[in-house]
Amino acid sequence: MPREHRIKKENLQTGTRGFSVSFNIVLVEPEIPPNTGSIARLCGAANSTLHLVRPLGFSTDDKHLKRAGLDYWKYVNIKYWDSFDDFLAACKENHLHFFTTKTSRPYIQAKFKIGDFLVFGKETKGLPEEVLQLYHDRCLTLPMQNENIRSLNLAMSAGIVLYEAMRQCDILS
């Protein structure tokens, strides 16, 4: 029996499979199966929905993807999108937060709300430049203290941002 999550239920929304959903993590064209598997596990632990925007750089049957998610897949609410345009058309702009190395605004300056979408680009290229320009006021970064390091691993970044959003919304206790 899974252990009960310590999340205040009144602060959650119901997801498409009946899961209680706090936030949404969006991976745009992810390339590395273990990153996606780790983020799926993160979403399961945080009662958040994982949105995967095609094309994916791997098969969802990939053994590394499944291994990273362990036996938690049944607790993960996953939604697939055929394109980034389809995803954007279905969302309200004020619920979107885009994460990139190409801005100076730190993620802790965001004001997260329950149900927000935390959007991350592919590991090797990030989000498309036109998206960064169009949504420049919604772009955030995880600042690096060492100028020789460009960025953190995608799964690590998603975890840091998701738990900051949950902290701000008082759903961790």
For 91-129, what is each residue's pLDDT tens digit?
A: 999 999 999 999 999 999 999 999 999 999 999 999 999
Closest Cα partner for 43 from 18, 25, 19, 57? 25
pLDDT given for residue 8 in this prediction: 34
* 136, amino acid identity: H
Q: Report the DSSP beta bridge partners of residue 120.
A: 27, 99
**Domains with residue ranges and CATH for the chain:** 9-168 (3.40.1280.10)
What's this model's pTM, rounded to 2 decimal places?
0.86
What residues contact residue 153 under an 8 Å CB cut-off, 6+ apart? Answer: 35
Closest Cα partner for 127 from 30, 6, 62? 30
Q: Are 23 and 116 in contact (CB under 8 A)?
A: yes
Three-state secondary structure call for residue 79: strand
Q: Which residues of the chain carry a pLDDT beneath 50?
A: 1-19
Strands (E) located in the chain? 13-14, 20-21, 24-28, 49-53, 77-81, 96-99, 117-120, 139-140
pLDDT given for residue 20 in this prediction: 57
